[in-house]
């Protein structure tokens, strides 16, 4: 990847945009093995702001932690001319979708150097994927394995980090930035807080995949806005099958 000196030098045609959706590993607290219950109880005690809430009552939040959750969808997208190409990996088998996603990254890295981009990706998406690959015994592709790389060798972009310009105080949501830049919000049907219910209770994975794809497209539009380029119209989105 050629060295970039500013936002405007980012080669957007060599950026793989992505978003992931995660859920608790079990449908409810009572389905967890006893050893995991004890560990979740400990975790819940540290993250629970409402002291009256029981660990079982906040188990729906377990999906945001790689130790207690699983990935059910990874949507990726890249810019090709005037089109935005989307390919999603999803299903009940986390190992299968991670294998397929990992194979795609490995193939890409053999041809050209790509950058990965997600919103809050450095804090959530990228490490979550890598951790779940380790749990599932899957080789981590070079694009995600940053363990022995120097900071300037890591080709990861984060639209939230880019927006901070060195400010570490605040989290800025994708929804807020999309509204600010005149990009159609991806939260027009469901939002992240509803994913567990839609997956476990409604059994509607297709709805989640659609939501994940919208987020991926929104991240791409946001980076295009950052770099002074026009966004790609929705009618120019092409969906690929696995």
Residue with tokens 């050893």: 35
Residue 42 reports pLDDT greater than 90:
yes
Whether the CA torsion 133, 16, 234, 239 is positive or negative: it is negative
Task: State the average pLDDT over residues 104-115.
Answer: 88
Residue 215 confidence (pLDDT): 96
**pLDDT for the residue 190:** 82
| Helix (H/G/I), strand (E/B), else coil: 223 | helix
DSSP-derived letter for residue 97 is H
**Which of 46-55, 74-83, 109-118, 187-196 is predicted least confidently?**
46-55
CATH class of residue range 7-25+68-240:
alpha beta
Tell me the β-bridge partners of 19.
75
* Residue-wise pLDDT tens digits, 134-193: 999 999 999 999 988 898 889 999 999 999 998 887 789 999 999 999 998 877 778 888
Residue 3 pLDDT > 60, yes or no? no
Quick one: average pLDDT of 223-231? 96
Number of helical (H) and strand (E) elements in the chain, helices listed first:
7, 6
What percent of the chain has pLDDT above 70?
97
- Say yes or no to pLDDT of 37 above 80: yes
Report the pLDDT value the prediction gives residue 2, as an integer from 0 to 100.
46
State how beta strands 115-118 and 237-240 pair.
unpaired
Which of 209, 18, 213, 235 lies closest to 118 in space, CA to CA? 18
* pLDDT tops 50 at residue 222: yes
Percent of the chain with pLDDT over 90: 79
Predicted local confidence at residue 102, as pLDDT:
96
Q: Give me the pLDDT at residue 242, please.
A: 61
Residue 4 has pLDDT above 60, yes or no: no
Say what the pTM is.
Answer: 0.93
pLDDT > 70? residue 5: no
* Average pLDDT estimate for 90-109: 95
The mean pLDDT of the chain is: 92
pLDDT of 116 reads 97
Kindly state the average pLDDT of the residues 100-118.
92
């Amino acid at each position: 990847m050629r060295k970039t000196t500013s936002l405007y030098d980012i080669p957007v045609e060599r950026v793989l945009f992505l978003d992931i959706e995660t859920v608790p590993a079990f449908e409810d607290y009572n389905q967890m093995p006893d050893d995991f219950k004890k560990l979740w109880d400990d975790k819940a005690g540290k993250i629970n702001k409402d002291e009256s809430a029981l660990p079982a009552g906040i188990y729906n939040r377990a999906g945001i932690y790689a130790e207690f959750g699983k990935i059910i969808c990874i949507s990726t997208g890249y810019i090709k001319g005037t089109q935005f190409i989307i390919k999603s990996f999803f299903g009940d088998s986390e190992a299968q979708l991670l294998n397929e996603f990992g194979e795609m990254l490995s193939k890409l890295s053999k041809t050209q150097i790509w950058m990965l981009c997600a919103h809050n990706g450095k804090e959530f998406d990228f490490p979550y994927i890598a951790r779940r690959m380790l749990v599932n015994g899957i080789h981590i592709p070079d694009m995600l394995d940053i363990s022995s790389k120097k900071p300037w060798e890591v080709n990861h972009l984060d639209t939230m980090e880019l927006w901070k310009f060195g400010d570490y105080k605040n989290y800025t949501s994708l929804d807020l930035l999309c509204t600010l830049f005149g990009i159609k919000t991806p939260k027009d049907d469901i939002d992240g807080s509803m994913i567990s219910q839609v997956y476990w209770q409604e059994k509607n994975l297709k709805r989640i995949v659609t939501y994940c794809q919208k987020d991926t497209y929104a991240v791409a539009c946001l980076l295009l806005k950052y770099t002074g380029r026009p966004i790609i119209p929705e009618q120019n989105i092409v969906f690929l099958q696995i």
